Amino acid sequence: AMEDVSAKFVSQKISRTRCGPCRRRAPAPDVFATGLWDNEDNRISIWSAGDLGNAGLNGEYHGEPHLLCDIQHNGDVMDMQFLDQERIVVASSTGTVTIFRHHQNNQTLSADHRWAKAHYHVDQDTSCGGAACTGVVCNNPEIVTVGEDGRINLFRADQKDAVRTIDNADSSTLHAVTFLRTTEILTVNSIGQLKIWDLRQQRNEPSQIFSLAGDRVPLHCVDRHPNQQHIVATGGQDGMLSIWDIRQGTMPVSLLNAHEAEMWEVHFHPSDPDHLFTCSEDGSLWHWDTSTNVSEKPSFLHQGGRSTAYLSHSTMNQSVVSAWLSNDPTKDRMEITNLIPNQTLSVNSLDVLGPCLVYGTDAEAIYVNRQLFA
């Protein structure tokens, strides 16, 4: 239902979109942030997500997103995440990590704190030594960053220096990071490995390593199930969606044929994790629905009305309750819809919160769907 989606053309390529935290009991975020890449003047922008108070008689929304404020950012925005209502942490291709503050009283953005060259190839002091910071995750006040240099940093928002740095955490590029628990993180790298790191341990080695069999396909993104923390989803260069059960084995529980090119982001819905969303270089954004009410429907991939039978998959034998871990999650249990059937350029980023989905593309547009489950 594309009519529920409002688009904003910004004449710049969008690398990241993030929903602001919901205020108090609001059903949906009232702001979202975007970051740019591949532009002469890359910026961080805060947007109004459209006013819930403007809903018409039928509950439809009016008003496209409008810009509240923006600020210049050095380098491509590689990743970003809200730390709290006012602050957002941004990872740069220059290796620098910056906390920006959104001043809501006068709608401005300012740089609150900057860790220059948190990631670097040679040494921190050379002028050209920066390595891209590829991923950032926050659990206020803690901030974890990973980079092309295979380094993991643990920062605290209130401290000038890193609390902890694991210098040679990985011999390959780390592409993404997320929290598994408050003291443990998950990373994915460019040789198809998923690793767990326990930040309480002083050892500089992962506590567990999982890997894709065979090809060592680079993994680009990772998310964990919000309620069942042993369930982890990753996506990579081949467009496959991998579901892992970190309690058992070292390989994915299921590999699902998904996109035709790199999968850039994967997100479980934070409050309704039967729903998962993935976006890709191939211009598609998929909604994976494993809620039980789809069991009556055949497992087809809906391409804007045209149904194509679901493709092959390989699984390991398991009897588990979660649909994500079933022997064949696609059989009877899953419906997949491409939410943007006619897009051709890369969908680089998505975020989802409540009924709201925000995504950004290389077609220089930001899209907001405020009625995701309508």
Contacts of 154 (CB under 8 A, 6+ apart): 142, 143, 144, 162, 163, 164, 165, 199
Dump pLDDT digits (tens) for 43-92. 999 999 875 444 444 554 556 789 999 999 999 999 999 999 999 999 99
Domains of the chain: 5-56+76-291+320-369 (2.130.10.10)
pLDDT for 297 equals 42
Residue with token string 């003047």 = 41
Dump pLDDT digits (tens) for 294-303. 444 444 444 3
Hey, how many other C-beta atoms are within 10 angstroms of the C-beta on 209? 12
Mean pLDDT of the chain: 86
pLDDT for 146 equals 98
In which band, very low, low, confident or very high, does the pLDDT at 25 lie, cut at 50, 70 and 90?
confident
For residue 4, give the 3-state DSSP assignment.
helix
Tokens representing 294? 């789809």
* Nearest Cα to Cα of residue 32 among 46, 53, 42, 50: 46
**Dihedral, CA atoms, 36, 39, 42, 44, nearest 10 degrees?**
-20
CA distance 90 to 77: 7
CA distance 182 to 311: 37
Tokens representing 97? 């990590």
Cβ contact 236:242 at 8 Å: yes
Q: What is the pTM of this model?
A: 0.88
Q: How far is CA 148 from CA 46, 95, 163, 164, in A?
A: 27, 9, 20, 18
| Residue 218 preceded by cis peptide, ω within 30 | no
CA distance 153 to 166: 6
